[in-house]
Amino acid sequence: MTGYGGWQAFRGNSVKKSLTTILAGFLLAFQSPDFYSLAVSAEPPGRVHSRSGLGDIIEDGNGYGGVRIGSTEAALLAQWGSPGQVTQSGSEKTYLYSLGSDEIVAAFIKDSQVEMILFMLRRPTESSLTTVRGVKLGSPFEEVRRLYGNPEFQDGREASYPSRGISFKHEAGIVAYITIFLPGTTIERRK
Within-domain flag for 189: no
CA–CA gap between residue 109 and residue 32 (Å, rounded): 16
Within-domain flag for 132: yes
β-pairing verdict for 2-4 and 7-9: antiparallel
CA–CA gap between residue 43 and residue 112 (Å, rounded): 29
Q: Are 13 and 1 within 8 A, CB to CB?
A: yes
For a pLDDT cut of 90, what percent of the chain falls above it?
A: 55
Within-domain flag for 190: no
Within-domain flag for 188: no
Q: Which spans in 46-150 are helix H? A: 73-80, 142-148
Within-domain flag for 60: yes
Range of the domain at 114: 2-181
Which residues, including other chains, have CB under 8 Å from residue 181's CB and lie 6 or more apart?
61, 69, 115, 116, 117, 165, 166, 167, 190
Give the pTM.
0.77
Within-domain flag for 39: yes
What are the tens digits of pLDDT across the range 51-109? 677 889 999 999 999 999 999 999 999 999 889 899 999 889 999 998 877 889 999 99
How high is the pLDDT of residue 47? Answer: 55
Which residues, including other chains, have CB under 8 Å from residue 97's CB and lie 6 or more apart?
45, 46, 49, 80, 83, 84, 104, 105, 106, 107
CA–CA gap between residue 66 and residue 140 (Å, rounded): 27
What are the tens digits of pLDDT across the range 111-153? 999 999 999 988 878 888 999 999 999 999 999 999 999 999 9
